[in-house]
Chain A
């Protein structure tokens, strides 16, 4: 009888330590898996396609995007991504990368921006938008986030972004903060970055656009935020809306000094 008790105790101890051990090596195992995927990122395919689209004459005006001003002057791609979202005098708006690309597609190439904004992700011109986003973000690979955030419009949008981030709403009373305002949180095996400050903000913001292996899709920040809205049971946010831009600005400013790894590869 005592023998059984001892055996049982030993077994339980073994199981307990076994669980702890398994958890530790699971995190390491996943890190190893991610490292294996890093070389050979299908984002490269989208980046290459985006580069072609940037140079190609398209649209009713049969023009390329090579004069597009992403904030650092017409045609300057290098370093543009890590300074977005920012204020643009010509549109009098704070814009993120994708809404700015949309502006250029309309003004330079003659595309109908409202129609593209209404187009679901993964269809028609949205496919090209994603490729362009991958290309533009690649132009800042390895650079540090340095959003100017020095105009009254940007500072206002930052505050708007912060309010939206913490506002609980929808059927489940969720907010971005429900998942992303504390350290060391996770959903199942996914670590949730704390987006209110670095390193989480820089890591989180600098990881999109990214290729998601789970669905083989390339996602820009607009789609990433759109899906966050869906997960929180919020209404569908309009593409390039002030709400999504404000959130992007909030993340980008919080992530100042963080390194951009976009276009990245994700689960």
Chain B
């Protein structure tokens, strides 16, 4: 990673970037992932400067439309946009005031009409960013849709993993927790398998999709499922714990937090079963003492804070590349 192009490298010297939207990583080629990650490395360099700003997107307006509360993702996108010199419109839509897709499309068209050319959208319903992408002319960035996808989270996870492990070909990544309802897990499945990692999913059956695979190239990538956390952690290079939503108990998917922690909490004893130096990750926000013990969350192997700071660089890269893809 020595010859990364700087964001100021003239466009013609960079590989072609034609994508207008970032909806998920499912259709990303390995080259495209490399392109985003290398751009993100360059953005990290920008962020390390005394004045962490470049005017690459001066004059571009970026709208953040959040139908779900999110402190870290929204502020990360906002910081990224501002570091590139873009103007930002933040819209926090009350989930109760917007029930119909028509009004979603209307809201989006309004943002377009006031001059936004890139839309960052977070929505509690899977597929909403796809609907928007089909009905507006802005470049659309999925900042998390329902249980489906969270591609910038997966990209920042890739960036974090790669900066520690280098090549991840054949490395064992264990994802523990509520896979069924996790957009982070789904996007990571695509991104990590595309760059050669092997994935182990670890959860009780009630927190896993009922059906994973099919004899169809469009199905989710092949993974190993392991209900037993000790067996799952054996030989792990990366361990990712997912947030457990408390409503899963109400839905009858789990008996209690206590039992969940008993079976699936990532603690020091269990982490010792992984490879020495295995990375500990969490997309946040954490329920410390539930899916991860405080000692592990803040321990020497934890890269959780680094994930957050890498988030800004990745989102700068995405905004920058998509602005190009949309002719800005």
Binding partners A and B: no
A: which residues have CB within 8 A of B?
none
B: which residues have CB within 8 A of A?
none
